[in-house]
Each structure stands twice: as C-alpha cells, then as structure tokens.
Structure 1
Amino acid sequence: MDLGSLLAYWPFVLGLMATGVVSGVAAGLLGIGGGAVIVPALSNALLLMGYDGDIVQHVAVGTSLAIIIPTGIMSARAHHKRGALDMDILKLWAPVIVIGTFVGGLMAGWYSGDVLRVVFAVMAFVIAANIVFGFQTRLMGHLHGSSLTHRISAFIVGYMSSLMGIGGGSLTVPTLVAFGQSMHRAVGTSAAIGVAIAVSGTLGFIISGWSVANLPPLSFGYINLLALALVGVLAALCAPLGAALAHRMDQKTLKYVFAIFLVAVGLNMLWKVIFG
C-alpha cells in the first residue's frame, strides 16, 4: 500500500490510531491485552473498506493477537514494578497456554467469520456474568491448590483466547480470582500470560492464513502489518497509563468496569452476526 492509498484511507488510519490508544489503556486497566477493543474495531473498519466478512474476522482476530505482544509486555512490566505479578502462576500457566493457543490458531481457519463472532459474544457474556455473580469462584475455588486444574484451565483459556483474538485477560483474570488471587494481582499476572498467548496465537494465524486469497494489502497470513504497526505502537505506549489507573481504583469498581465493557463488546459482535 503506497502513500496515496494511505491518504485515501485516512479515516481508516485515524480509526486504527484511536483504537491503539483505547486498547492500550484497556490493556493496562483490565489486563485484557486490548483485544476486546481491537477485534471489533478492526473488523468494522475492514468491512467498511469492502473486504469479505469471513476474511475480515480472521484478520481482525489474528492481527489483534500480534498487537497484544508489545501491549502485553508494556502492561506486564508496569504491573511487575508494582508487585502485582505472580511468577509462580506465570511459570505454571505459560507452557500449557502456549500449546492451547497454537492449536486454536491453527484450527481458526476451519471456522467461518460468524462462528468466531458468536464465540466471542457468548464468551463475553459468560465472563461478564461470572464477574458480577461469582459462580466460577463457587465452582472452582476449592481447586486453587491443584496444579492439574491450573494446567487444564490454562489450555482452555489459550484455545478460546486464540479464537477470540484476545490476550486471555477476560478469561484468565476471573479464573485467577477464583483460585484466590486478588483482583489487582490477577490483572497483573494476566497481562504477562497474555504475551505467551499472543506469540503462540500469532504464529498459528500466520500459518492458517498463509495461502488465503483476497487478504487486505500488507497482510502476512491473517496478520495485517499496517494495523499491527499503527495500533501496536500506540497501544504499547498507552498501556502503562491504564496500569497506573488500575492501581488507583478499588477492586469492586474494577470488576464492574470489566463486566460492563465485556457486555458492550459482546452485543456489538452479535449485532454484526444478526444484521450483517
């Protein structure tokens, strides 16, 4: 894509830049890697540019995972400086979650764009309900000392995160809270886990999208390099701001902000499935 093409798509470029700022703050604030913002924003932008709906969702999910790599690193560093990163949990989860994410990334090509949107929406509603009503804590709280439970949870989180295009925070945070972590420590640890998810998932989406035709310009498999550059840089720069804000909020407020955010994103995805 040359300079003339970029100028013709200046609203798209500005939209990506705004997405980077918002997703970066969200990454630091909620430990979510920003994917819950990036996926619907990038998907809508590409649809407006006339690209096929199935390809659009895969590119949005794959590119989101790639963007989460620098964002997650910046967010995790900011939380680590505040003592909110549990290295024991990170070492337990990381190897298994990498496997789950890679498998999900490879399998993503089997699913249509609408299937990925429905998965995203349903999981967002379930996670939001869990944050408000806390049923996961009642179901899993007594298993917090089991390494096997941690590993099974890590695989599931990795697999689902790769299909959603998120850094896993919306799944990892409530799981770690159910296992006895404080909200702040769960958010900080989730940010680091999100980096492992993003690296593995990105590789899977590069492979699964390698031979796909009619991808947007500057795409590497399902990873769009223009969106990666614009959104990724701004998101990484803004993630520490979100982390600082998270540590000024009480845990109850942080939970409700997280839940409202997920419901809004889920409704957006269902709207696209139903009304196109």
Structure 2
Amino acid sequence: MDVVLNNLPTIFALITTGIFAGLLAGLLGVGGGIVIVPVLYFLFQNFDVSAQSAMLIATATSLATIVPTSISTIRAHQSIGNLDFRLLKSWGPYILVGVVLGSLLVTQYGGQWLSGLFALVACLSALNMLFRAGKAALADSLPGKVGQGVIASCIGFFSAMVGIGGGTLSVPVLTAYSYPAHKAVGTASGIGLIISLPAAITMLTFGVTPSDAPFGTYGLVNLLGFVCIVPLTVIFAPMGAKLARKMDALLLKKVFAVVLLITGLRMFAQLFI
C-alpha cells in the first residue's frame, strides 16, 4: 500500500497518458506509439529521470503497449478483409531482421541520439500529414523483391528504435506506391505486431535498467506504465472513433500534425540547447 501511495502521482500521470493516447488513436487513426513515446519522455523527466533514461524507457514501454493493441486491431481488420497476409509473409522476415538489429542497438548504445531520431520521425510524419494527404501516389506499384526487402527492413529497424508500431512508417510508404489505403492501414496492424513483440522482449530481456528509472521498470520496460496504459487505450480508442464521426477528421489530423511537429522541434531543442 505504501508503494502505491508513494507512486500515486506517477500512476495518475500514466493513466492520463493511456486515456489521451486512446482518444487520439481513435480520433485520428494514428498509432499509439507516436503519442505515447513523447508523452512518456517528458512525463518521466518530471519525476527526476534523466532525458537519456526517459527516452530509453519511453521507447521500450511504448513497444510493449503496442503488442496487445496490435492483436486486437488485427482481429478487427481481418474480419473485414483488410489484412494482406501475402504482404506480411513476404515482408515479415525482413521486418524481423530490422527489428532485432534496431532493438539490440538501443539496448547496447541507446542515448540522447534516440531523442533526435524520434524527433526526426515525428517531424517527417507531421509534414506528411500536413502536405501529402490526398496527393497522388509516387509510383504505380511496389518495387521488386529486393526493394521491398530494403523497405521492410528499414521500417522494422527505425520503428523498433523509436518505439512506434508499423503504421507511422508503413502506411505512408505503402500508399505512396499506390497500395490501397484501407489495406495499408489493416496490414499495418500485423506489421505492428511483428515489430513490437520481439522488440519489447529484447528490451525487457537485454536492456539494463537505468539507475534513475521510475518505479516498476524492468529491463527498459516500465511495467507500471504498461498496466496503466493498455486497458485505457483499449477502452478510449473506440470512444475516439465515435467522436471522429461527429467532427472534422481532416481538421483534427492537421491540428495533431501541428502539435506533433511542435513536439518534435521541442525534442530537438532539448537535445541541442
């Protein structure tokens, strides 16, 4: 009981993170990781965790939360035929190689440079939402087997390093090659599981817990954060989806993109100033 009372501010903040991430995921159709990582990054620093440790733990914890979310999303998309098993089978081994390399790199050499990498991904994602939405595809079809292997490996590598599921990178990449948008979103849930499960296990097993880590951290995963965030994202994501039907989805996405861009720039500023 004393442990719970002593960590009530952290628990409350993590619960708020779960609600916020769930609502945004439902409202905007964005992956939870792109929301959870920056929120946890700044949140942990408010509890006397260094920026370097905060980024490592935020990345690993975000990946852990994506595992159950991906499983539930896979079922939903499979039921309506939006899951491309052929693409998952083709891309899976390449994604896995990228994930293992990226995860091990984080556990062995993780540091402030991760903040810069996430900030770059966040800024590019925000700019894509602001300026690429509704634009014509860049190519008529996906490249050959070698090209797809390189794309899949890079998606796994960078997603694992910055704590995001496959959607943030795979959806814009697939749609840029004229891949149907609804199938890209559905298949991204499967890509998210291929990324998050091995990455979370690697960071839980091989990650060394920082000395200033918040309560409940094992390896690099904050299990308290996992327990607080996952149920609430599952509960509040459908609520966000219902709200989205009553609101201007395009305007919401642009507002989120601006907030994400500001967040990325702030992370860059903290890194270099």
Q: Secondary structure at the match of 1:187?
A: helix
Aligned counterpart, 1:16: 14
Aligned counterpart, 2:89: 91
Q: Which moved more, 1:255-264 or 1:157-166?
A: 255-264
Q: 1:55 aligns with which of 53, 56, 81?
A: 53
Q: Secondary structure at the match of 2:48?
A: coil
Q: Conserved in 2, the CA contact under 8 Å of 1:31 and 1:173?
A: no
Shift of 1:65: 0.4
Aligned counterpart, 1:231: 229
Q: Conserved in 1, the CA contact under 8 Å of 2:31 and 2:168?
A: no
- Measured in 1, the distance between the counterparts of 2:266 and 2:46 equals 15
| Counterpart code for 2:194 | A
Q: Conserved in 1, the CA contact under 8 Å of 2:138 and 2:178?
A: no
Q: Conserved in 1, the CA contact under 8 Å of 2:47 and 2:214?
A: no
Aligned counterpart, 1:127: 125
Aligned counterpart, 1:109: 107
The percent of aligned pairs where both chains have the same amino acid is 35
- Measured in 2, the distance between the counterparts of 1:163 and 1:32 equals 18
Would the alpha carbon gap of residues 140 and 102 (structure 1) be closer, same or farther in structure 2, given more than 3 Å must change? farther
| Counterpart code for 2:164 | I
Shift of 1:29: 5.2
Q: Conserved in 2, the CA contact under 8 Å of 1:105 and 1:208?
A: no
Would the alpha carbon gap of residues 161 and 50 (structure 1) be closer, same or farther in structure 2, given more than 3 Å must change? same
Q: Which moved more, 1:236-245 or 1:106-115?
A: 236-245
- Measured in 2, the distance between the counterparts of 1:172 and 1:265 equals 21
Aligned counterpart, 1:181: 179
Q: Conserved in 2, the CA contact under 8 Å of 1:66 and 1:198?
A: yes
| Counterpart code for 1:152 | V
Aligned counterpart, 1:218: 216
Q: Conserved in 2, the CA contact under 8 Å of 1:34 and 1:166?
A: yes
- Measured in 1, the distance between the counterparts of 2:81 and 2:249 equals 16
| Counterpart code for 1:117 | S
Q: Conserved in 2, the CA contact under 8 Å of 1:28 and 1:75?
A: no
Shift of 1:188: 2.0
Q: 1:41 aligns with which of 39, 42, 58?
A: 39
CA RMSD across the alignment: 3.0
Aligned ranges for residues 174-213 of structure 1 at < 5 Å? 174-210=172-208, 212-213=210-211
Would the alpha carbon gap of residues 128 and 52 (structure 1) be closer, same or farther in structure 2, given more than 3 Å must change? closer
Shift of 1:167: 0.7
Would the alpha carbon gap of residues 6 and 58 (structure 1) be closer, same or farther in structure 2, given more than 3 Å must change? same
Would the alpha carbon gap of residues 229 and 185 (structure 1) be closer, same or farther in structure 2, given more than 3 Å must change? same
Q: Conserved in 1, the CA contact under 8 Å of 2:95 and 2:155?
A: yes
Q: Conserved in 2, the CA contact under 8 Å of 1:36 and 1:265?
A: no
- Measured in 2, the distance between the counterparts of 1:255 and 1:150 equals 28
How many pairs were matched up?
272
Aligned counterpart, 1:164: 162
- Measured in 2, the distance between the counterparts of 1:87 and 1:27 equals 24
* Offset from partner CA, 1:99-150 (integer Å, 9 cap, x none): 2112101101344542111111112222333344449x88952451523322
Stretches of structure 2 lacking an aligned partner (at least 5 in a row): none
Q: Secondary structure at the match of 2:112?
A: helix
| Counterpart code for 1:41 | V
Q: Conserved in 2, the CA contact under 8 Å of 1:31 and 1:190?
A: no
Matched, 1:80 2:78: yes
Aligned counterpart, 1:118: 116
Q: Which moved more, 1:234-243 or 1:50-59?
A: 234-243
Shift of 1:234: 1.5
| Counterpart code for 2:78 | H
TM-score (norm: length of structure 2): 0.84
Shift of 1:178: 1.0
Q: Conserved in 1, the CA contact under 8 Å of 2:28 and 2:249?
A: no
